[in-house]
Amino acid sequence: MADLKRRVPMHSLRYFISMVGLFSKSGLLPWYARNPPGWSQLFLGTVCKGDFTHVIATKCQKGQKSQKKPSHLGPLDGSWQERLADVVTPLWRLSYEEQLKVKFEAQKKILQRLESYIQMLNGVNVTTAVPKSESLPCLLHPIIPSPVINGYRNKSTFSVNRGPDGNPKTVGYYLGTWRDGNIVCVRSNNLKNIPEKHSQVAQYYEVFLRQSPLEPCLVFHEGGYWRELIVRTNSQGDTMAIITFHPQKLSQEELHVQKETVKEFFIRGPGAACDLTSLYFQESTMTRCSHQQSPYQLLFGEPYIFEELLSLKIRISPDAFFQINTAGAEMLYRTVGELTGVNSDTILLDICCGTGVIGLSLAQHTSQVLGIELVEQAVEDARWTAAFNGITNSEFHTGRAEKILPGLLKSKEDGQSVVAVVNPARAGLHYKVIQAIRNCRAIRTLVFVSCKLHGESTRNVIELCCPPDPAKKLLGEPFVLQQAVPVDLFPHTPHCELVLLFTR
C-alpha cells in the first residue's frame, strides 16, 4: 500500500513534448480511418441457414495454449501485451473456427446444467425437442458467428494506474487483482477486440496525464483526480470520448481550468490527431455515477453519436447501453425478431430495452411496442429514434422494470397477444419482473437474451419453467423452453449471447 501512495516526480513540459515526438516517430499514435469490415448478403444467408454446423460438430481439441492462465505475473511469463491478451481475450490464439467450437460446447454445457436443475425441481420433466440422450431441454441451433472478428468493439473503457514501468499515469487494462495487490495497467495496443482508434485516444489521454500537474486517482478513497476514459465510436468513424474526474476539494474555478486544459489538448494540442467528434467530462465522487447522479458535461462537439442498424438511424447518448459489436448486434436482433413470431395483432413488450432497437426494428410488424429501461438518457434516445424514423406505435417508460411492469401488464389481460423480449444485464431480472411475466396470461411467448446464463439468470429461467408456486407468487402457467440460439458478439473471448425461446 505504501508503494501505491508513493509519488512519482512530475514530468516537465519539455519531457511532454519529447514524449509526443517519440510516440509519433515510433508509429504508435497515428491511426488510419477505415470503414468497418462488411459482409455480403450471401454470407448472411449462409449463416441463417445454419451452414456452420460443421464448425461446431466436434469438440475443441484439449490442451490449447490459450486456455492456460498465467499463475503469476513474474517477468518470465512472456510479454505484458501477451499476458493482457490472455486475460482479456483468452481465445485469441485459436482460429475463429476453433473459437466457435469452444463457445458452442460451453453453451451446450450451460443448457445441460439448466436441464438438470429443471428436472430436479419437484420432479418436473420438461418437454424436449431433441433426443433425451443429449440431456438438453430444447433444440440447440448452430452458433451464429460474428461478421466482424477483429476490432469490433464500439465502446471501450480504459483504466488509469501504474504501468509495468511503475508510472502511475498509464492508461490501459488491468492485469492482476486488487485482492492480491498486484494490479498492473497495460496498454491495449495489441488486443484483437479493440479498434486502433480506441487505443489511439487512450494513448493520447496518457500523454495528457503525464504532462498534467494533477495526480491520477489510483485508489478511489486515497486521493488523486484523473480517472478512467471511455471511448465510443460508430461505423461512420465518429468518436466520442468521456473522461471521468474526481473533483476532490477543487473549487469550481479550479475545475474550470482542468476542463479547459483537457479541451484545449484535444482540440488544438497533440490530442487533435484523434479527431474527436465530442468530448465529455464527468465529475464523479463515487465509484460509478449515472448521468442523473453526476451529469456528463459536453466540453466540445456533438452531444450524440448515431448508428445505422436494421434500416434505422439510432441515437446513442454517452450513458446509453448499446451492444458493443454493431455488426454482431444486427445478427442478434434479426434472430430475436424471427423467434418472436410477432404479427399485426401482437403487442411487443421490450424489457431492459436500452435504446429501443429490438422493439423499434419490429414495430412495423406489431400493433404496439412498449419499452422499459432504467437509464433515462437511453429512453430519450429511443423516443428520438422512433420519432426520426416515423414510428408512431411505440412508447417507452423510464424506471425499474419490477416497478413499472406489473402496472403496465394489468391493462393487457383483454385477450390481445403479448410477446415479451428481455435482455437484462448480467445480474439477471428482478424476481418481481419474473412474477409479473409468469402471472400475465396474455404473454404466451417470451424471448430471453443472456450473455451470461449463470447465477440470477439461471434462477430466472428456473422460475419461468417451474410449476405454479403460491409461496413465490408464481401463479401463472409455466413456460417451456423450446429453442436456443447462440450468437457470437465477442470474438476472442469466451463470452457469447444465448437467445432462448419460451412458450406456453
Mean pLDDT of 28-57: 30
State the pLDDT confidence band at 359, using cuts at 50, 70 and 90: very high
**What average pLDDT does the chain have?**
83
Portions of the chain given CATH number 3.40.50.150: 325-503
Mean pLDDT of 442-449: 94
Cell numbers standing for residue 157: 473503457
406 contact partners, CB below 8 Å, separation of at least 6: 432, 435, 436
The helix/strand/coil state of 186 is strand
User: With 60 as the cut, is the pLDDT of residue 326 above it?
Assistant: yes
pLDDT score for 15: 35
305 contact partners, CB below 8 Å, separation of at least 6: 232, 233, 234, 238, 239, 240, 277, 278, 316
Of 89-93, 274-278, 466-470, least confident by mean pLDDT is 466-470
Q: Note the pTM of the prediction, 2 decimals.
A: 0.80
State the pLDDT confidence band at 412, using cuts at 50, 70 and 90: low
User: With 80 as the cut, is the pLDDT of residue 121 above it?
Assistant: no
pLDDT score for 414: 62
302 contact partners, CB below 8 Å, separation of at least 6: 238, 240, 277, 278
- Which of the two residues, 221 and 330, has the higher pLDDT score? 330
Please give the class, per CATH, of domain 325-503.
alpha beta
Residue-wise pLDDT tens digits, 216-259 = 999 878 899 999 999 999 999 999 999 999 999 999 999 999 99
Mean pLDDT of 166-179: 93
pLDDT score for 442: 87
Q: Which residues are annotated as a binding site?
A: 323, 373, 423
User: With 80 as the cut, is the pLDDT of residue 87 above it?
Assistant: yes
Q: Which residues are catalytic?
A: 451
What's the Cα-to-Cα distance from 97 to each of 47, 53, 64, 492, rounded to whole Å?
13, 11, 14, 11
Bridging pattern class, strands 418-422 and 347-351: parallel
pLDDT score for 373: 92
- Which of the two residues, 290 and 333, has the higher pLDDT score? 333
User: With 80 as the cut, is the pLDDT of residue 78 above it?
Assistant: no
User: With 60 as the cut, is the pLDDT of residue 48 above it?
Assistant: no
User: With 50 as the cut, is the pLDDT of residue 35 above it?
Assistant: no
Mean pLDDT of 470-495: 95
Residue-wise pLDDT tens digits, 53-63 = 233 223 333 33
Mean pLDDT of 286-294: 70
CB 112 within 8 A of CB 136: yes
User: With 70 as the cut, is the pLDDT of residue 79 above it?
Assistant: yes
Mean pLDDT of 95-118: 94
pLDDT score for 219: 83
Gyration radius of the chain's alpha carbons: 24
pLDDT score for 408: 84
**Per-residue 3-state assignment (H helix, E strand, C coil) for 112-165:** HHHHHHHHHHHHCCCCCCCCHHHCCCCEECCCECCCCCCCCECEEEEEEECCCC
Residue-wise pLDDT tens digits, 336-346 = 999 999 999 99
Q: Which residues are annotated as a binding site for S-adenosyl-L-methionine?
A: 323, 373, 423
Looking at domain 155-303, its CATH architecture is Beta Barrel (2.40)
pLDDT score for 189: 92
Mean pLDDT of 29-40: 29
> Would you give the distance in Å from CA 106 to the centre of its chain?
20
CB 219 within 8 A of CB 197: no
User: With 80 as the cut, is the pLDDT of residue 14 above it?
Assistant: no
